[in-house]
Amino acid sequence: MTEASKGQRNEEAVARFIESFAATFVEAGVQRMPARVFAALLAADSGALSSAELGEQLQVSPAAVSGAVRYLSQQHMVTREREPGSRRDRYRVHNNQWYEALGNRDVIMRRWEDALREGVKSLGSDTPAGRRMSETLAFFEFIGAELPLMLERWRARRKELFPDD
C-alpha cells in the first residue's frame, strides 16, 4: 500500500505531479505559471490555497501568482473566495470545474461563430479561404449543438460515480 493510498501525502511526489501535470497544460498552450497554479490547486486536499501558500509552494513571487489566478479566473478554472474572518483571498478549484469551464465556453464559441460567418460573407463561400472558413464554422456549430447534450450526459454519469457530491 502506498503512502497516498493510506491518506498520507508524499510532498516530493506531489511536487513532481504538479510540475508534470502543468507541463501537459503548457504543451496544450496554457502559459506555464497558470498551469502550475492550477495543478497546485488541483493537488491541494482542500482544493483551495491563498496567494501566499501558492507562492511558497511553487517558489514564485506574489506577482506571478496574481497574474496566474487572474488568467485562471477569466477562464473559469478557479474562483476567488474570502478566508472567513480575514481580508485574504483563497483561490479554489471545484470538483466540477471541468464542467464549469466547458459550460462557460458557450459565449466564446458563439463569438467565434459570428466572426466566422462574417469571414465567410467577406471572403465569399466559393473561394478556397471561404470554404475553409465555412468548414470551421460548421465544426463550431456542431460542437455548440453537441456540447450541452454531452454536459447533460456527464451530469448523469457524475451522479452515478460520485453520488455524495
pLDDT (0 to 100) of residue 6: 53
Between CA 43 and CA 15 the distance in angstroms is 9
* Phi, psi angle pair for 80, to nearest 5°: -105, 140
**Beta-bridge partner residues of 81:** 90
The single-letter code of the amino acid at 102 is L
pLDDT digits (tens, 9 = 90+) for 35-84: 999 999 999 999 999 999 999 999 999 999 999 999 999 888 899 998 77
pLDDT (0 to 100) of residue 94: 78
What separation in angstroms does the CA of 94 have from each of 10, 65, 114, 143, 164? 22, 18, 31, 24, 15
What is the mean pLDDT of the segment spanning 111-126? Answer: 93
pLDDT (0 to 100) of residue 7: 63
Residue 5 has pLDDT above 70, yes or no: no
Residue 4 has pLDDT above 60, yes or no: no
The H or E element containing residue 122 is: helix 105-123
Question: Quick one: pLDDT band at residue 1, thresholds 50, 70, 90?
Answer: very low
Average pLDDT, the chain: 88
Between CA 151 and CA 31 the distance in angstroms is 26
Between CA 102 and CA 76 the distance in angstroms is 9
Q: Are 35 and 26 in contact (CB under 8 A)?
A: yes
Question: Quick one: pLDDT band at residue 24, thresholds 50, 70, 90?
Answer: very high
